[in-house]
Structure 1
Amino acid sequence: MRIFLFVSIFIVLFLFPTSGLATNETFTLSAEHAIVMESESGKVLYDKDANVKKPIASITKIMTALIAIENGQLDDPVVISENAEQIHGSSLYLKKGEQMTLESLLYGLMLRSGNDASIAIAEHIGGSEEGFVAMMNEKAEKIGMTNTHFKNPHGLDEEDHYSTAYDMALLMREAIKHEQFQQISETKKYKPKEKDYPYINKNQLLHGMYDASTGGKTGFTKRSGRTLVSTAKKNKMTLIAVTLNAPDDWKDHMAMFETTFSTYSIFTLMKKGWFTVQNEGEQLHFYVRDDVIYPLQHNEKEALQMKVIWKKTNEGKKPYAQFHIEEEIIQTIPLEAKEKEEEPFYIKLKDWFLRWWK
């Protein structure tokens, strides 16, 4: 038996909403493929053919930046190679032999989409462009980007270089966990110490177009069309939006954000800390390591249930809180138990609710 201990209860009255009322607003997109994902839970809140493999252009550079941040130091000196100088497309106009810090290159990569910066970063971190691309694909596999394959660090059109809207949302979700990445992504203007002029971010959502915007990355080639990954935050909820082949991508992203923010709210399903429940007069103690938050439409609250289950693991039986909406499992959270229970039993949660919501 996989499940040893279970309890099913309605918990809607005990949720903690942090944003406004849901709406039934709809929108039409120019994008061929699109997705909206809530960053904390990874829940997909909207998608339009989000698992179709397509060329992605310069949003590739999100992975380039992530690999560099995880494997380099911002103050690393990087010498520009001939390969970097000669790459075509969007450019910082770097010259062979010129020296930049990794930090300056990352800002040039993300704000100005410099292909020369991508080659310089790849050669510095991976030893060669090929070595760096291997790191990119390894990271993609680790993140769960199962429909992605990289052939270069810049996103120029190349056979067998592709991803999906869903996979790019997974990538952005991973990238914004890094404070350094988020800081670069949300920067409107950056003055590198090596230059006498600033880099202005190409992401127009940041420049007064959408107040809730918190960053992103643009892309374009003739083959891919306009591609865009962006993030926005409102009412404690951070959303990730991706569009592929979207002629009107700024409008698409604003429409997706506004509709999703008005339709979904973040709720605290469970609070961090110890709680006690009763089983036939016996007290059982569980610990929640972190607050559990999740985006819900208001009409979903009434169908929300929770089960506390025990699963077999290599370390023995472990407790989990499992949340359901009707038959769909939306979240499973590991718990810590003070005492392990061997037999099935029904948990009475009166004391638990008194513990958290008195």
Structure 2
Amino acid sequence: MIRRIIVLLTALSVVLSPAAPVEASLASIPTRPLEGFAPLSPPEVTAEAWLLWDDTFDRELASLNPDQARPMASTTKMMTALVALESADLDDEVVVSPSAAAVGESEIDLVPGETWRLEDLLRALLMRSANDAALAIAEHVAGSEAGFVRMMNDLATEIGLENSHFMNPHGLDAEGHFASARDLLNIAISGMENPVFADIVGTRSSTFPDEPNGEERVAVTTNALLSTFEGALGIKTGFTNGAGLTIVSAAERDGRRLYAVVMGSTDHFADASALLRYGFSAFGLFNVVAKGQIVASQRGPSGTTDAIAQDDLDVFASSEDAEEIDLVIEYSEDGEPVVIVEAGEEEIGRIGLDLVEPAPLPGIGDAFAWASAYWDWLWGND
């Protein structure tokens, strides 16, 4: 329910800091009415650290330990892919070394001496979470695993990661190999800006070069959310004994893109799904004032003056914030009447107002002139 605080429009000028307006490009996002919208609380999840982010409105929606440095498992491979995409050509031919083929754990079963296109290795890396593909990419791009790791840490500094450090390209547990949920979010957002990265992480299954013995290679993504969560865009899963289950997930509904980062979970798909559902349900674009709406009225000696909204005013808020929205009418520093939307004590939007005053009543002189004209018409006087 909106609480309206109406401040009388006097000549008093108040200096205010304007809130950022909703971008015109967001016009396709449906708005919600404020009335009858029940507040929702964040879900209980098993993850020890998590972060829910609205990328459309550039806002952190909820989090737990988002800046805590933790083992990240195969979400490491997002950074591996970013370095490769920046430093090599997709059509590069990569010869698989014995060390890459022998790395172990999650694999696409590379064979020493095989030649793969870099793009195929990237698909194996991000879809199948192949450790052997990670090391093959690293050795091709930098000449050695150590050299590639330096490139990973250099890129981490370049994109502003604050609680991350890399020791390998695949994510197997290693001392000094860690990231925070916030840093993983930033890596994912950077990756999704690359159309090749975005296409691969959103793919459910793919075929790969046949094995040397002629056997077909087919891999299905490790990210079950692509099949189970409406609007899922993919990203990256991970698991090690040290990291637990991890996932960086993204989904889009009604023009809004959300990211959920889950670390140290016992059920990463359920946790990410719950967080994404909460983000889409509990937050939205609320219509506070409609264009042409009479926001306030004030009686005076000559009638009622109406304050009419010059435009629609939509604000992004949580269902909890929506119950605490105030409308405040004041003069801006330019001397123009405005309606300000506040949630708590924070200004979250404003639009201008038109003051529509009543038509003046005819004076005594006007009345005599009207009566004289009527008399002349009635008697046919020119």
TM range (shorter): 0.7 to 0.9
Contact 1:58-1:217 at 8 Å conserved across structures = yes
Q: Does 1:84 align with 2:103?
A: no
Among 274, 278, 293, the residue aligned to 1:255: 274
Q: Does 1:24 align with 2:52?
A: no
Residue matched to 2:192: 176
Q: CA deviation at 1:300?
A: 4.9
* Distance 1:300-1:9 versus aligned 2 partners, 3 A rule: farther
Contact 2:210-2:217 at 8 Å conserved across structures = no
Q: Does 1:33 align with 2:22?
A: no
Residue matched to 2:84: 68
Residue matched to 2:337: none
Residue matched to 1:54: 70
Q: Letter of the 1:130 partner, please give it.
A: A
Contact 2:18-2:347 at 8 Å conserved across structures = no
Percent identity reads 34
User: What CA distance in whole angstroms lies between the structure 2 residues aligned with 1:267 and 1:51?
Assistant: 30
Among 175, 178, 188, the residue aligned to 2:204: 188
Equivalent position SS for 1:36: strand
User: What CA distance in whole angstroms lies between the structure 1 residues aligned with 2:133 and 2:255?
Assistant: 34
User: What CA distance in whole angstroms lies between the structure 2 residues aligned with 1:219 and 1:127?
Assistant: 26
Among 229, 236, 242, the residue aligned to 1:223: 242
Q: CA deviation at 1:174?
A: 1.1
Residue matched to 2:143: 127
Residue matched to 1:144: 160
Equivalent position SS for 2:147: helix
Residue matched to 2:133: 117
Q: Letter of the 2:50 partner, please give it.
A: A
Q: Letter of the 1:296 partner, please give it.
A: A
* Distance 1:121-1:42 versus aligned 2 partners, 3 A rule: farther
Residue matched to 2:217: 197
Residue matched to 1:103: 119
Among 292, 314, 318, the residue aligned to 1:297: 318
Q: CA deviation at 1:350?
A: 7.7
Q: CA deviation at 1:260?
A: 0.6
Equivalent position SS for 1:83: helix
* Distance 1:198-1:23 versus aligned 2 partners, 3 A rule: farther
- CA distances 1:258-314 after superposition (whole Å, capped 9, x unpaired): 11101222589xxxxxxxxxxxxxxxxxxxxxxxx9953366574799xx9xxxxxx
* Distance 1:297-1:193 versus aligned 2 partners, 3 A rule: same
User: What CA distance in whole angstroms lies between the structure 2 residues aligned with 1:229 and 1:13?
Assistant: 27
Q: Name stretches of at least 5 consecutive residues in structure 2 with no aligned partner.
A: 1-14, 288-313, 333-340, 355-382
Q: Letter of the 2:40 partner, please give it.
A: E
User: What CA distance in whole angstroms lies between the structure 2 residues aligned with 1:259 and 1:159?
Assistant: 35
**Corresponding pairs, count:** 290
Q: Letter of the 1:69 partner, please give it.
A: L
Q: CA deviation at 1:251?
A: 0.9
Q: CA deviation at 1:327?
A: 6.9
Contact 1:38-1:295 at 8 Å conserved across structures = no
Contact 1:236-1:266 at 8 Å conserved across structures = no
Contact 2:209-2:217 at 8 Å conserved across structures = no
Q: Name stretches of at least 5 consecutive residues in structure 1 with no aligned partner.
A: 1-5, 269-292, 309-322, 332-347, 352-358
Correspondence list, 1:272-311, <5 A: 295-297=316-318, 300=321, 302=325
Contact 2:32-2:285 at 8 Å conserved across structures = no
User: What CA distance in whole angstroms lies between the structure 2 residues aligned with 1:115 and 1:304?
Assistant: 56
* Distance 1:98-1:193 versus aligned 2 partners, 3 A rule: closer
Superposition RMSD on alpha carbons, in Å? 3.3
Q: Letter of the 1:113 partner, please give it.
A: S
Structure with max Cα Rg: 2
Equivalent position SS for 1:232: strand
Q: Does 1:240 align with 2:255?
A: no
Equivalent position SS for 2:163: coil
Equivalent position SS for 1:191: strand
TM-score, normalised by the number of residues in structure 1 = 0.72
Equivalent position SS for 1:146: coil
* Distance 1:142-1:23 versus aligned 2 partners, 3 A rule: farther
Residue matched to 1:161: 177
User: What CA distance in whole angstroms lies between the structure 2 residues aligned with 1:158 and 1:114?
Assistant: 17
User: What CA distance in whole angstroms lies between the structure 2 residues aligned with 1:304 and 1:135?
Assistant: 51
User: What CA distance in whole angstroms lies between the structure 1 residues aligned with 2:44 and 2:194?
Assistant: 33
Q: Letter of the 2:30 partner, please give it.
A: T
* Distance 1:295-1:174 versus aligned 2 partners, 3 A rule: farther
User: What CA distance in whole angstroms lies between the structure 1 residues aligned with 2:68 and 2:140?
Assistant: 32
User: What CA distance in whole angstroms lies between the structure 2 residues aligned with 1:100 and 1:244?
Assistant: 32
